[in-house]
Structure 1
Amino acid sequence: LLSQAHVLRKRSPTRTPNSAASSGMAGPSGSASASGGEMSSSEPSTPAQTPLVAPVIPTPSLTSPVAPPVPSPTKEEENLRSQVRDLEEKLETLKIKRNEDKAKLKELEKYKIQLEQVQEWKSKMQEQQADLQKRLKEAKKEAKDALEAKERYMEEMADTADAIEMATLDKEMAEERAESLQQEVDSLKEKVEYLTMDLEILKHEIEEKGSDGAASSYQVKQLEEQNARLKEALVRMRDLSASEKQEHVKLQKQMEKKNTELESLRQQREKLQEEVKQAEKTVDELKEQVDAALGAEEMVETLTERNLDLEEKVRELRETVGDLEAMNEMNDELQENARETELELREQLDMATARVREAEKRAGAALSTCCVPQAIEMELRQMEVQQANRHVSLLTSFMPDSFLRHGGDHDCVLVLLLIPRLICKAELISKQAQEKFELSENCAERSGLRGAAGEQLSFAAGLVYSLSLLQATLHKYEQALNKCSVEVYKKVGMLYPEMSVHERSLDFLIELLHKDQLDETVNVEPLTKAIKYYQHLYSIHLADQAEDCTMQLADHIKFTQSALDCMGVEVCRLRAFLQAGQEAADLAILLKDLETSCSDIRQFCKKIRRRMPGTDAPGIPAALGFGQQVSDTLLDCRKHLTWVVAVLQEVAAAGAQMIAPLAENEGLLAVKLEDLAFKASEQIYGTQGVNPYECLRQSCSILIATMNKMATAMQEGEYDADRPQTKPTPPADLRAAALRAEITDAEGLGLKLEDRETVIKELKKSLKIKGEELSEANVRLSLLEKKLDSASKDADDRVEKIQTKLDETQTLLKKKEKYFEETMDALQADIDQLESEKVELKQRLNNQSKRTIEGLRGAPASGVASIVSGIAGGVGAGQAPGGGSGPVQVKDSPLLLQQIDALQLSIKHLKNENNRLKGAQMKVELASLSPLHVPKVSLPKNRQGEGLATQTLYRKTSQLLETLYQMSANAKVVDMKQTKSARSSSARLLEQTARLCALKNSIDTLRDDTMRETVQQQLGATVPSNFGIFPSSSFLKAKREQEEGMACYGRVSFPCAPGQSQAHRLLLTPELLHKLRTHFGS
């Protein structure tokens, strides 16, 4: 019977992962950190498959009646039962698959509804796109009108310039006329001189001949001169008339030519305007097509991929439906066969029961004679244990009541037994946890640390870490209780009931190991409480006791190695949580540094362990000895190690909760884990605003320096010492000797009792005296209490009055602060307004000074130039009053202006959000369009790895668009009146501008990367150089021409038969275009 029970215990089925997970879900998740923090676990994971089975202890009574065992079933029954189980499993799988198919069909219906919604959005987006195009055309028309107005103004200015030129020509003509008149004056002066000469000659002749002869000769000469002059004048008049006729004819011909040219130019201008309008329409249409093609290309690709995925899903669903129908038919057939086999099995069962009864009778006779050696040995051990317990109970019955009372020697002995028992249990749990979860130095390098496997490793490493800390503390107790005084020994014995309570935490873990239920869902908070209790108790009662240096260093090495294992697991988990491509982040660099420091500390631990006492090899000391300073450094080292482990455990636990809802290929950003690290470091290090990178690196550097110092000291033999030859007697031996002495001195107890009675009488007398004194003291105390109550009431009244005054002063101070802030805001607004007015006045002053200087410069102009300058001055004077005249309005309410500005900003952000939503709707509509057939371009063999760069560029653009959408969607208006916040409004505004600048820089870098990638992918587009990649000039020229495109200059239509019209496109060079214009212009 005992052997069968043992075999049945071995054959008991192990718990499935699902059952373990389900049983573990109820228990709160905990952590094994020594700092007392809990390790949070969001997902239950499967434990190891091999359960820890405890040996079966048989009952002592072998003579009790034994029930007959159940005979083994026949092979046919087992086969049939296995078939029934297989059929039931298949039926369950069919049900599960049908439920999954229903869910998939529901998803298909959802996709159809989403497709209909996308089509509706497409139509809406097209309408909105048409409205936007109309608005764009209107804006272009307005711009064109503004350009035409500008051209008119330029023409008017050109007319004024022509008038100025005409005035200068008139001036030159007037100067030429003045010169001609001066020449005439000179000629007339010569004539006057000539006439004066004639007059003198006539006077002389009159004196000689007389007046008649002189007069006749003078008249003849005068007439001859007149005739000559008239002849000259006639010749001149004839020449002038002929030249004027020729000039008139020339001018008429030129005027006719100019008129014909002007009419042809007007016709050409009208034709060109029409052609420009048509070209603008075609350009708008082409731009719309290009924008649609460029924007829809990505959406088309995504939609085609989704379409293909949905088609594959539909095919799979149809195949699964067919398989399910076939399996359903098979299921019906199998159920019919199962009914038939059930009837056959019942008949065979009836036959088998009769056989079983006969076999039971035979087995009863056989079991009475057989006995297993294992069971005999276990019964003997159980008998020895019972005898030992009986021996102890009989010995304690002989002991006096003082030995068994609370806090007596019995409790002290139980404490001495409790400490090694706890150490043994902790060592057992640690070894079993290491074997179950396969803990080692390289366990952190396993795959799948992101999920349940990582949580299991973290739990196991934390549990071993806490157990090593508990063992180190209990070793201190074990050494101290062997060296302390009897008084301290008794004090610790009085605390046995409290100390024994914490043994339940280890018993609970051992019970879970028995049931194979020890996993990451187990709450280890009682273990951390036990560690804290034993540490606190040691610091109170046993802190003054000297420690064994060898044991202290050995415990420190063991604790450090377990902490390093825990650190390695948490570092690898955090590295698995990080999103791909963040190797250059500060957190990733910190994790690498922590990993290297762990490996360095492990090497130092190995060096120290080689020199640890325990073997008789040459060069190894028998014992170790060092001072209190080394012990303090080890304690400090342990403290920093616990801090580092606690920070990493907190960050890893929070990261596991954040990464649980994400997909397998997704990860967390380094910024989120950095925030968690900041919070954890502030909580554990106890300082606000501490930098986790500096703290962790500083702690690791302290650890490395301490361990390096210890390793070098151990290798150089600084701590070598001899074994102490005389050991102090333990307090338990001293107390046992005293107890034996008390028992031997029982003969003199009578005398002692008499002496005690006399002492008791004297004590009674003194007690009466003390009672009287106590009554008097009670009266005094009551009086003092009354006085104290009255004084406390007075003090409370004063405190209330002071508090009311303080509240009033605080309210007044707040009101004054508000009033001062409002006045400061108003003054700031007035200052800003005055500065704007100052700027305006400076501009006016500059304009006025320029005008005065121009007026002074244009004052000496004469003629037509003065008239033109006067007109220009009048225009300027007319424009100046309209531009800057009028008094400046004073703004009285700056708060209202701030609210108006804030509302304007919010309206602007709402417009941007509306535009973004319209753009997203347009994208959805464009995505629903028919896909474009993009030909696949085959890359050369040496350039097939460039697809990764384009993928990174696509990812960067998508991330940039996402940040843009988030900034536009989460835009906030800065409240200028808010003064309670820690940051000022200007600081928040600076943060927003800094974000915008960073976004602009990222856009520029992305544009440069895109240009560089296009240059690398196109053949012949790069210029070879030793320092970088530069685009060639021909490539830049082609890209510029491609961006500008070919413009439609005009259309020429020729008459043809109806229905036979054809369109021919001609590429014109500048020479051909000039010839065409001259041909149609002439």
Structure 2
Amino acid sequence: MSYYIYTLEAILHQYNFSLNTCKPETLLKVGSNYPEMAAQEKIIDGFVELLKRDQLDENVPTDSLEKCVGYFNNLFPVLFGTECKLNQTQLLSDYVKGLLSVVDGFNLEATAIRCLIETANVGDIGLLAQHVMTTAEQLHPQLKSIKRKLPPDVNASNLGFNREIFENMYQCYQQSGKIVKTLHDIVKGTVQSLTTDGDVEKGISQDKIKDIAINSSDKIYEQDDLGPVQSIKNSLTLIVSQISDVAKYLQDNEYEISMANKKEEKPVPPINVRADTVKKELEQTKTLTSKLENKESDIKELRKVLKEKQEQLSEMTIRKELAEKKLGNVNKDYELTIEKLQRKLEEAHNNYKKKEKEFEETLDHLQTDIDSLENEKGEMKEKLKLLSKKAQIEVSLPKSISGSQLSSLQSIGPTLPAVVKDSPLLMQEIDNLKRLFHQERNERIKLQNQKVKEQLDTLTPLPSFKNDRDEVLENLFKEGATLKKEILSALTKSSFPPMYKVKPGNGAEAWRRHFLEERDRILSLKLKAVQFQAKVAAETIKRKRGGKIEADFTIFPTKEMAKALTETKSVKVGYLKIPKSCLPTNEKPRIVNLELDFENLQKILKTLLQ
């Protein structure tokens, strides 16, 4: 019992020292194991309660206490590692106290064995007990010497020992515990055997106690068992040698140990470092809290601004709807105007065709007149030739021609001189008619062309279409084809994880990772498709007539104002009559149209008012 208590005290002292010298991260690591340590603490509290009630004796089982000691011993290197410093003074002092208790224990057990053996036949076990007692007497002064040479201040942690010495001391401690357990088990088995046989006064025989010792040694030493005598002697030899080495080292290096302890600086406990860190974190938390409060106030202000913006947006939406309605009405008026202009254009075109047809008919009629006049001209020429021939005949004929024949020739003659005299005038008249006809025709064509040109100038110009390449549409077509190809390849091509690279037992993880990658790939394709649809929709809205409205929403002119802004023709604003008496003598009354701008109109009004 005392062996376990001293062992527990030694390891807990090292826990205390390590927790005061370790890093804050290690402290947090130890804190994470506190629930398990609390369960072990309840075991110790149970033994304390038994001690308070005076129920703690040799019959109380120590298995739970042994497990508790083993738990703390095994957990220490896991939590603190090999780089953690040891309080060598405290650890050596605890080991010395524990070994003194253990030496007293196995000295007592050896004395009990000597008393229980037959006095006539000592045997191997009796000699072993005598050897244990002798070794105990040898160890007592050495342990007390070590205890005296240790520094009185347990906070002086550095004695100059390396970690190997303390590992050997821990083995001594374990070996001494095995000796006590083995001897205690031998005493216990011997007492039970004597009680069963009833030979209490005579003592136990050598053979029986040897069998009991063999069983006890095998149970305690397990695979290291070399028999009770040899095992216990080896343990005692190890203890004696290690204790002698430690005592010799302390005696030889007493001055160096005292000087090293004076120069040693105390580290800052990690709990203080952690406390400072927590204080800083709390201060940061306060600052963050104040920042959050400021952010909340900013968020409230932003919400107010957002609410105002939403109201403005609703107003803008209403204005937009009104503008769209007005735009729709304007479009309707524009379409009606276009229809009217198209009708006027068709009527003008029809009138032009009618005029052209009338002109062609007139031209044909004049052409027929010209042809008839040409025919008459030819007939006149033939008659003129006949008359000239007749005149020659009259000269050449003899005078003997009868008067009847002369009278017959003269009867034809009176009409010929008029025809011959009128032929140049007729030719001139025909030329004049041709000239007037061509002049009239050109003038009429010129007037018609001028009128049609004026009508065309009043029309709104038709939109011009360019055959330039539309790079935006081409890029959209290319992007759509690429996206379609990627989607089809993703749907048609199935992929599997490379199972030959997967380690045994990681197949499910490989499939899960593969499914996650496939899902991410499909999600990325969906996102690309949605983005492409948004691009196409935006471009469609831009190109569609009425899809977007470019307007200044701050000014909404009336219909009259809008009509005045788009007015291209002059408007009649009034008329002014001037008395006839104010006119010059040769000036006749007439209407004079004046096209004035705003400034000239103001000047005229000011002049009239004066």
TM-score in terms of structure 2 length: 0.45
Q: Which has the larger radius of gyration?
A: 2
- Bigger relative contact order, structure 1 or 2 (CA pairs below 8 A, ≥6 apart): 1
